[in-house]
Structure 1
Amino acid sequence: MIQVQEAKSVIKNHIFQLEMENIPLAQAENRVLVQDVTATFPMPRFDNSAMDGFAVRSSDTIKASQENPISLKIICVSSAGSPSMLALNTGECIQCMTGAKIPDGADAVIMVEDTSGFSDEDSVQIFLEAHPEKHIRKKGEEIQKGDSLIPKGTCITPSEIGTLATFGYGDIAVAKKPRIAIFGTGNELVEPGKELKEGEIYNSNLYVFAELVDRSGAEVTMRDVIKDDKASLRSFLSEALETSDIVISSGGVSMGRYDYVRDVILELGVKEHFWKVAQKPGKPLFFGTGRDTMIFGLPGNPVSSYIGFMEWVWP
Structure 2
Amino acid sequence: MSLLPVAEAQARLLALAAPLPEEQAPLVEANGRWAARDIAALRDQPSFDLSAMDGYAIRYAERPGPWTVVGESAAGAGFGRPLGAHETVRIFTGAPMPEGADSVLVQEEAERDGDQLRMSGEGPLRQGGNVRPRAVDFAASTILVSAGTALTARHVGLAAIGGHGTFPVRRRARIALISTGDELVPPGAPLSGAQLPASNAAMLAALLAGRPAEVLDRGIVRDDLDAIAEAFQAATSVADVVVTTGGVSVGDRDLVRPALEKAGAALDFWRVAMKPGKPLLAGKLGGAVILGLPGNPVSSYVTARLFLLPLIARLGGAADPLPSARLLPLGVDLPANGPRQDYLRARIEEGRAYAPDGQDSAAMVALAAADGLIVRAPHAPAARAGDSAEMLILD
User: Same fold by TM-score, threshold 0.5 exceeded?
Assistant: yes
Structure 2 match to 1:164: 159
Code of the residue aligned with 1:76 in structure 2: it is: G
After TM superposition, list the pairs within 5 Å mapping 1:83-98 onto structure 2. 83-98=78-93
Unaligned runs of 5+ in 1: 65-69
Aligned mates of 2:54, 2:154 — CA distance in 1: 28
Paired position in structure 1 for 2:172 = 177
Cα deviation code 1:227-267 (max 9, x no counterpart): 11222212211111222110111111011211111111122
Distance, in Å, in 2 between the alignment partners of 1:220 and 1:86 is 59
- On the 8 A contact 1:72/1:126 being kept in 2, the answer is no
The alignment partner of 2:243 has SS state of: strand
Q: Is residue 219 of structure 2 the alignment partner of residue 217 of structure 1? A: no
In 2: Cα distance, 1:254 partner to 1:18 partner: 31
Instruction: Please state how far the C-alpha of 1:218 moved relative to its aligned partner.
Output: 0.7
| Pair 1:60-2:59 in alignment | no
Letter of the 2:17 counterpart: I
Q: CA–CA distance in 1 between the matches of 2:233 and 2:305?
A: 26
Structure 1 residues 100-109 or 208-217, which shifts more?
Answer: 208-217
Distance 2:237 2:180 in 1: 20
For the pair shown, the structure with the greater C-alpha radius of gyration is 1
Structure-2 residue corresponding to 1:67: none
Q: Which has the higher contact order (CA 8 A, sep 6+)?
A: 1
Task: Name the structure 2 match of 1:123.
Answer: 116
* Matched residue, 2:37: 35
Q: Which residue of 2 aligns with 1:281?
A: 276
Question: Is 2:303 aligned against 1:294?
Answer: no
Runs of 4+ in 1 over 6 A off after TM superposition: none
Q: What is the correspondence of 1:216-255 to structure 2 with a 5 Å cutoff?
A: 216-255=211-250
Aligned amino acid, residue 19 of structure 2: Q
Q: In the alignment, which residue of structure 2 is the partner of 1:12?
A: 14
Q: Is contact 2:247–2:294 with CA below 8 Å preserved after alignment?
A: yes
* Counterpart residue number, 1:50: 52
Where does residue 142 of structure 2 map in the other structure? 147
SS of residue matched to 1:221: strand
Deviations 1:205-230 (CA, angstroms, capped at 9, x unpaired): 10111122332211013421111122
Distance across 1 between alignment mates of 2:286 and 2:257: 17
Q: What are the superposed Cα offsets for residues 2-57 of structure 1, whole Å, 9 maximum, x if unpaired? A: 11111122123222121122233333333332111111112222111111111100
Gaps of 5+ in 2: 311-395
2:191 and 2:286 mapped to 1: Cα distance? Answer: 40
Question: Could you report, residue by residue, the CA deviation over 1:153-212 in whole angstroms, capped at 9, with x for unpaired residues?
Answer: 234332222222222322232211111110111111121222222212111110111122
Contact 1:222 1:240 in 2 (8 A): no
- Displacement of 1:72: 1.2
> Which of 198, 205, 208 does residue 193 from structure 2 map onto?
198
TM-score of the pair, normalised by structure 1? 0.92
Backbone CA RMSD of aligned residues: 1.7
1:82-101 deviations in Å (ceiling 9; x for gaps): 11122112111111111111
Q: Offset at 1:300?
A: 0.7
CA distance in 2, matches of 1:277, 1:262: 15
Amino acid at match of 1:125: R
TM-score of the aligned structures, taking structure 2 as reference length: 0.74
Range with bigger deviation, 272-281 or 163-172: 163-172
Q: Secondary structure at the match of 1:12?
A: helix
Percent identity for Structure 1 against Structure 2:
33
Q: Distance in 2 between matches of 1:305 and 1:222?
A: 16
SS of match in other structure, 1:215: coil
